[in-house]
Amino acid sequence: MASVTSSLTVEPVAGALGAVVKGVDLAAGVDDAQFADIEEAFLAHQVLFFRDQDLTLDAYLAFARRFGPPADYPFAKGLASHREITEIIKEPHQTSIFGGIWHTDTSYLPEPPRATLLYAVETPSAGGDTLFANLYRAYETLSEGMANMLSGLRVVNMSALNGIALRFHHLGTGSMEAKKPGGEILSADHPAIRAHPLTGRKALYVNPAHSAHFAGMSNEESRPILDFLFGHAIRPEFTCRFRWRSGSLAVWDNRCTLHCAINDYDGHRRVMRRVTIQGDIPV
């Protein structure tokens, strides 16, 4: 059911997570009362979608900054004029994409971003949707035994785990530009179960793109448990799906969601602009 604030309408898109926000022109600027409503919806729904927004680079960055200071993305260069904004581009000749595996953004950093914003500049006529999954639900539906076991474990996350060769192949064959050499590996360990710093809710915090093994355990010992958790976290009833069109903006809570870009639009160009927001150390 849609909820209405003083100036906004928030309409859920699925039972698990996600909502479309209507009644706001982000290019005109967001006042404190409007942003308070947006932030409340953000914490409640975990990912928000805004349609038909005509955002200049300055307007986009101004809205992103309402969520916090922008974070640096370590592997692809930002725009020359707005380095906090990274363009995620797939050219018609490319068959690879960025983000084509379930993940939380840069969980291999000591302080992963709290939020990510993605704005659609150019989209194919069909395809290129993004899937999102609710990691609160993933935790809350674990058995008591599994939840108790995971509560004492930490997970080693690595930038070089899955898809690193594909990432740098994509950077080397299109119009995106790499920032770091392909051999550099970033790594950080985080709790398998993290508590959201604002809602207090617990979320499963593993992802198949970057979670390599449990700290103090081998890959072989960790793999059966991680494989179960990866599959459990993306059960259909925990997910929503968003179809992009030019002028669409999504902002998701990186502390309690997974997302995955669908690569089903070979031969077409897609241009997205991403900003990540500085986070904190998961606990």
Q: What residues act catalytically? A: 103, 105, 259, 274
Looking from the CA of 115 toward its CB, the CA atoms found within 13 Å total 23
Contact call for residues 255 and 111 (beta carbons, < 8 A):
no
Token duo for residue 188: 């950080």
> Residues near 260 by Cβ (< 8 Å), separated by ≥ 6?
99, 100, 101, 102, 103, 130, 131, 234
Q: Give the residue among 15, 16, 21 at the shortest CA–CA distance from 40.
A: 21
Query: Residue 27 half-sphere exposure, CB side, CA atoms within 13 Å?
Result: 10
> In the chain, which residue ranges form alpha helices assigned H by DSSP?
32-45, 57-65, 135-140, 144-150, 164-173, 219-233
* Pairing, β 19-22 against β 47-50: parallel
31 CB neighbour count, 10 Å cutoff: 10
The residue with tokens 């031969």 is: 267
* Per-residue CA distances from 39 to 47, 76, 136, 155, 208 (Å): 11, 28, 18, 29, 28
CA-to-CA distance for 154 and 133, rounded, in angstroms? 21
Query: DSSP 3-state assignment of 116?
Result: strand
Maximum pairwise Cα distance, the chain: 54
